[in-house]
Structure 1
Amino acid sequence: MQTIEMVTLDSVTRSDEPLLHGAIPGTTVTLRNMVEGDCFAVEPQADKAFIFLSIDGEFGFAAGEVKNTFAGRHVFIPSSRQAAKFRARKPTRMLCIGWEIPEDGRAEWNNPEREFPYIQEYITSVQYRDKNKSDKTISREMVRQRIVPGFCMGSVESYGYDKVAQHPHPMLDQFFFSFPENDVDVLIDDFKVPMKGDTLLHIPLGSNHGVEVLGDNHMHYIWIDFFLGQAGLDRLDNSHKPTGRMRSF
């Protein structure tokens, strides 16, 4: 079995500590674990995107023309010209993802047609269908492809018993991040890898992978995809079909 790279958030001791450094070229992932009153800011960098996922807490966010207070799970993406500032009003955990924009997407990223910052409340994300998942599963698109070149992010939620069928996608490099309530087995080729909550895991590129949830356990994780070129876009366009509905458990 190839080595599976994974880390639990309770092992992170510094906010600048890179998580799974080098697992996916062009990416950096860190965790901000803030107490009330803590602040942090990220300045824009040429040809780089920053994606922030709030795991829990309550906090202020400011970027561009936006300055507001948020609670719970959201995604925030400032533009290539916007600084992002956060201030915790209650204990807050924030997953911070940096992505070096592929060369063929830099002109688009630096001259966007859409407004930024991009903000998406988790629970109101568009839901989609995927042939690898059962009708029971709720799949959400948090950051659809083409918002950030070479990047997209979504989630999978269900309860046991359920299964995401094993499948490969060699054109997409991928992290899984599990919400605290998650308790599943990740299927990678011929092996099962237990993944409980608050875990970041790298899916080996090209592996035949899926997820299984047993009993009354909760499946609730984020997939974070990075890709180069048209093949990744085609894969996502063809496999993610919006349902036009909003379901919940």
Structure 2
Amino acid sequence: MSDSDSDLGMSTARDRLRSFDSRHDPRVQQLLHQETKGYRKASVFIGLLYSEDRLNVLLTLRSSRLQHHANTVSFPGGKVDEGDQDEVEAALREAKEEVGLEPSNVEVVCTLSPMIASPNFLTVPVVGFIKEQFELKVNENEVEEVFYLPLERFNKDEGHSSEVFMRSSSSSPYIIHRFTDTVIGQTMITWGFTANYCCLVANIVFNKQGFSYLSQDPVSAKDAYEQTIQRTQRILHVTKTHELAKM
């Protein structure tokens, strides 16, 4: 049975997300701790805020000054620094640096299966509840705007489009999803990596089949999670095979 925001309890959302916590998945831990030459570790923070009787996801519009992914909708996040204890600490640090969200105002619920994000980052999504509204302190060198979208929006067809894309380092195509919304008087397009994980979190929380970046047809959250792990494993295996061939 699927849910909507109106009848979804926070404890139910928390329990469902925790059941997908990749920190307890040995396959994911192997991916994160194996030698990944050519790929740097990164993490993003997927912040969920319960407001106006619904769950909302925190998003940013990246600054036009940035070298990578300028003017795109994104989660707060970045590379894992040497001083970070793990991917969770890195994601919370980045959220504080980018938008002023204090780690003490976050309940970390889970991490999800990692994905390769351009340019060559092995990226772990960290999902957490924002405990209460906070005063934004926007780092203008990194962020143009901060906004929220209803999480359930990523289970709906309205304003959604998709196209098939092929990554050179893998043998199978994947789907690029785009969600178009008007926010703060601007047209915001959530797509690619960010859209994929918004869809996955929505599928998990609302217990619905939904969009996946590896299937044209709606899939369950469990299948989407498994597909993400398998694709990441495949990409890293292909990369490692190419490295060995050059030796």
Asked if Structure 1 and Structure 2 have the same fold, meaning a TM-score greater than 0.5 normalized by the shorter chain, the answer is: no
Q: Judging by fraction of residues, say which structure has more helix.
A: 2
More relative contact order, 1 or 2 (CA 8 Å, 6+ apart): 2
- The TM-score with structure 1 as length reference comes to 0.31
